[in-house]
Amino acid sequence: MKAAKIIFVIIFAYFLIACALLLRPFGSPTETTMDEYFIKNAQIETASNNVVASIVFDYRGLDTLGEATVLFAAVSGVILLFRGGVPK
């Protein structure tokens, strides 16, 4: 059993080191064609001067709504947990 734990730790450490070595250098993202599209068309298509806000609320509106729903469910669950469960 002890040998299995040591082997697991070695494999996990190898995995972490491999992941760290494969990361891109910080501050040098790769550019895609979507970047140029959003920069050129965001103000025209969404009538917003803020490109980030137009992406979050217009282009990815349903995704943002889903994230807000998950956050609301998590907060509701924590409140119910700390208040003693569902009222009877």
Render pLDDT for 54-87 as a digit per residue (tens, 0 to 9): 888 888 888 888 999 999 999 999 998 888 766 6
Residue-range domain boundaries for the chain: 2-83
Are the CB atoms for 42 and 55 separated by under 8 Å? yes
d(CA 80, CA 72): 12
d(CA 44, CA 38): 10
Nearest-5° angle of CA 56, CA 34, CA 69? Answer: 25
d(CA 39, CA 51): 7
pLDDT tens per residue across span 42-52: 889 888 889 88
How many other C-beta atoms can be found within 10 angstroms of the C-beta atom of residue 49?
Answer: 9
